[in-house]
Structure 1
Amino acid sequence: MESRAVDTEIILAIVVFGSFVVMYLLEVLAGKMKNSARPKRDAIFTLFGMFGQSMVPGVIIGTLAGMAMLALFPAQSGSFAGSSLWLTAFILFASMEFCHYVIHRYAHEWRWMWKLHRTHHSGMDMNVGLLYRYNIFWLFLLPQPWFGAFAMYTGMYEAYAVAIFATYACNVLTHTAFRWDLYLRAKAPWSEPIWWVIERVITLPDTHHAHHAYGKGAHPNGNYAVSLFIYDVIFGTAKIPNQRQSKFGLPISPRLHWAEEMFWPAIKKPLLPKPAKAAKPSDAATA
């Protein structure tokens, strides 16, 4: 049983990392990164997040949750190993999505949680690299690694792998700079009734780009669902703009210190000074 769990984890890691790399390279080759506001900073944040996500959920949370499961439920190891794969995967998927919706929503409504989550929103360009743009302590609040420990302990590793891949695939497709949803809709106007239903059930780039934007067509305090947008529809936090957004990140993004973004509350830094405005030619001539 342990070998099956390990094999499942390895396959999941390869598929997840591979899908990210492929999409990232496609964005680079398509020129989506060439006009990035802060490409080096964003790349460092992405690499930091990838390393942190491999260490925190897999090692720290996995160990702590595994020890807790062993102590609290010593007789339940492998108890769901014979469960229906697809039913169990759906239950895990829907449960993780709901927990993520709630945590994500509170992260925008409670100030202390917002400062943990803010790093994910400070990126000034919309691309798949945002997937790994995290404050290191935010990872402890994500439901997926905790569900993962429970699933592995009770023998639901294949179902968990399916659920995680569904969430991750949606994350890749909604964070990418490619607005594939608007492209497909423009190419097939007859499909609008179908899209009307889809966009109220599943998160699309249209709604998630709006969540990362500010200004026209933005909805940063809403559209919280990772994959199942129907939670936003049910709880009244949905906004479907059906348009592109031009400004991403936060108005204060250029003033945030990198150390606070990565390690708050362990490291606290004041906002950097506002960048000086460049003098207009007319101003220089009259100085």
Structure 2
Amino acid sequence: MDTTLSVHNPTLIVAAIFLAFVLLELACSAFRQSRSLRRDLLIEIVGSSLLLAVTFPLVMWLSGTVLQHLVPQLKGALVGIPWIAGFVLFLLLDDMTQYWWHRLTHRVPALYALHRAHHSAPYMSIRIVYRNNSFYYLLMPGLWLSGTLIYLGLAPVYYVYLILKMTVIFGAHSSIAWDDKLYGVRALRPLLWLLERTLSTPSTHSAHHGLSADDGITHYKGNFGNLLFFWDILFGTAKITRRRPQAYGIEHLAAASWREELFWPLVRTRRVARAAQPEPEVAQ
């Protein structure tokens, strides 16, 4: 891995932004969810810890180590490119591929088992940002491609990109509907029209987490974007209502234990395995 990453490490800044959202939800009495269960806490704490302490550093290290052995001559090869070009590369190779990975996990039942933990929470909150199966991020192409771009010399660009991306993702998952107030400001309407078609917002992303498509708002077959909602606009999976579902969670699937949601396929039960084969048209 390019040693520049350790010099320009965005971890502390991202952690500070995450903490700011936590404090905001606490101040608004929205962090401790009324429907939160012990299993939810275990999934969120264990899942987030595994990603931050194991998966992310492991992927960054492995991608750099493998490339160092295979193509040592390419280390730092992109150092001289314009900063904006490097940023666009991260948008395409990280954010766009994450859109397709996210979309694929909602289409293939076996892959959805790696993502269902993110949707089994009956609430929206900063707490669920990293709530996923322990293998979900390990298999995410965007992380490996980001490690590749860092090896090629774009670590300083990644510093800015990751801070921006995680700020948008934190804001989109937060239980604080910060975009609601903006919708009421007439002078901001043109800007908001553009914003909600460019970046993920609480309104568009909460629709992705809704419990039932029958409410006319929930759209778990779309709104897959992470940093850019533009991918949903571009690839035809967007739904914009400026409203929020009344309930959140997983429709048409039987409950699974916290161990199975975090460690499937290493942990699985026969009962849930049978129930977790939804018809393609209702698979989340």
What is the TM-score of this pair, normalised by structure 2? 0.87
Three-state SS of the structure 1 residue aligned to 2:7 is helix
Aligned length: 269
Query: Using a 3 Å threshold, how does the CA distance of structure 1 residues 99 and 2 change in structure 2: closer, same or farther?
Result: closer
Identity score, percent: 27
Q: For residues 189-235 of structure 1, what are the alpha-carbon distances to aligned partners after superposition, in whole Å with 9 as ceiling and x for unaligned?
A: 34223322221222211110000112321101101111211111121
Equivalent residue for 2:41? 43
Q: C-alpha distance in 2, partners of 1:97/1:3?
A: 23
Q: C-alpha distance in 1, partners of 2:91/2:32?
A: 36
Q: CA deviation at 1:254?
A: 7.9
2:179 to 178, 181, 186: 181
Q: CA deviation at 1:151?
A: 2.4
Q: CA deviation at 1:120?
A: 0.7
Q: CA deviation at 1:243?
A: 0.8
Q: Which runs of 5+ in 2 are unaligned?
A: 274-284
Greater RCO (Cα-Cα under 8 Å, separation 6 or more): 2
Name the larger-Rg structure. Answer: 1
What is the TM-score of this pair, normalised by structure 1? 0.86
Equivalent residue for 1:226? 226
Equivalent residue for 1:255? 255
Q: C-alpha distance in 1, partners of 2:35/2:43?
A: 14
Q: C-alpha distance in 2, partners of 1:160/1:57?
A: 18
1:1-287 superposed matches below 5 A: 4-9=4-9, 12-186=10-184, 188-215=185-212, 216=215, 217-251=217-251, 255-269=255-269, 270-271=271-272
Q: C-alpha distance in 2, partners of 1:118/1:110?
A: 12
C-alpha contact (below 8 Å) 1:128/1:175 kept by paired residues: yes
Paired letter, 1:69: L
Three-state SS of the structure 1 residue aligned to 2:176 is coil
C-alpha contact (below 8 Å) 1:126/1:175 kept by paired residues: yes
C-alpha contact (below 8 Å) 2:76/2:152 kept by paired residues: yes
Q: C-alpha distance in 1, partners of 2:208/2:263?
A: 23
Paired letter, 1:218: T
C-alpha contact (below 8 Å) 1:181/1:206 kept by paired residues: yes
Query: Using a 3 Å threshold, how does the CA distance of structure 1 residues 94 and 162 change in structure 2: closer, same or farther?
Result: farther
Q: Which runs of 5+ in 1 are unaligned?
A: 273-287
